[in-house]
Amino acid sequence: MTSQPLELEGTWEEIVAQSEKLAGRRVRVTVLVEEELKSPEESFRQAWLEVKTGKTRPISELWEGIDAE
C-alpha cells in the first residue's frame, strides 16, 4: 500500500518552517499567482458589463424565480 502525498500550502516562510519534516524527501513547489484585488469602482463596472451582455441575470429575475416557488 502506498501512502498519499503530503500537501502543504502557505507562504514560503510557513513552508520553510516545516523543513525538518521534509529533509531528505522529494518535494514539488508550485508558486500560486495572487490575483490583484479590484477597486470597488472596477468591480461595479465589471458586474454592470456582465449584466448588459447577458452573462449574469438581473436580481429581479432571480427574485421572480424565488417568489414562484
Structural domain count of the chain: 1
DSSP 9-42: -S-HHHHHTTHHHHTTS-----PPPPPPPPPHHH
Q: pLDDT, tens digit, for every residue of 35-58?
A: 676 788 887 888 888 878 877 766
The per-residue pLDDT for 23 is 92
**2 found inside a domain:** no
**53 found inside a domain:** yes
Residue 67 — left, alpha, or beta (φ > 0 → left; ψ -120 to 50 → alpha)? alpha
Top mean-pLDDT range of 51-55, 58-62, 65-69: 51-55
Round to whole Å and give the CA distance between 6 and 11.
16
Instruction: Provide the residue range defining the domain that includes 44.
Output: 12-68
Say what the pTM is.
Answer: 0.42
**1 found inside a domain:** no
